[in-house]
């Protein structure tokens, strides 16, 4: 994917680009410029990397409606855990509520507006402590 990064940086010259593995987001204040970038990215991926974007996973929308990226939905003033991510997390914890697992999710939940999720975890799981 470094080839794609270089194409975006040097050829398209997009400034507001975020990528993690095969997920990426472009930000712009102009819808038409995003449509042009999308067209160029599709061509590049098809011609150079021999891959295509999944049509159901490409969205052009306003930031106010939230940017869904890496398990979080980010809004201009805050981020919330994606509903599917929350459900998956709760299911995994119910299957394996060990302290390491809970600690891992506790760290994840520090990065957004997760008060209700953390409260649900606290009210659902009992902790056995030895005094």
Per-residue pLDDT tens over the stretch 63-102:
889 999 998 999 999 999 999 998 888 888 877 766 667 7
Give 21-78 pLDDT, tens digit per residue: 989 999 998 999 999 999 999 999 999 999 999 999 999 998 889 999 998 999 999 9
Q: Dump pLDDT digits (tens) for 3-21.
A: 999 999 999 999 899 999 9
CB 86 within 8 A of CB 117: yes
Give Cβ neighbours of residue 101 (< 8 Å, ≥ 6 apart): 92, 93
The helix (H) or strand (E) run that includes residue 116 is: helix 115-124
79-to-5, 73, 97 alpha-carbon distances in Å: 26, 6, 25
Tokens of 59: 């969205």
pTM score of the predicted model: 0.71
């Amino acid at each position: 994917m470094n080839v794609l990064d270089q194409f975006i940086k040097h050829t398209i010259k997009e400034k507001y680009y975020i990528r993690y593995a095969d997920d990426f987001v472009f930000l712009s204040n102009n819808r038409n410029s995003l449509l042009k970038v999308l067209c160029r990215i599709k061509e590049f991926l098809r011609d150079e990397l021999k891959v295509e974007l999944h049509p159901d996973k490409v969205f052009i929308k306003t930031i106010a409606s939230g940017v869904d990226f890496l398990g979080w939905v980010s809004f201009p003033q805050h981020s919330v855990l994606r509903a599917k991510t929350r459900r998956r997390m709760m299911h995994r914890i119910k299957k394996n509520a060990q302290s390491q697992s809970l600690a891992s999710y506790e760290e994840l939940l520090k990065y957004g507006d997760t008060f209700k999720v953390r409260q649900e975890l606290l009210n659902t799981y009992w902790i056995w402590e030895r005094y």
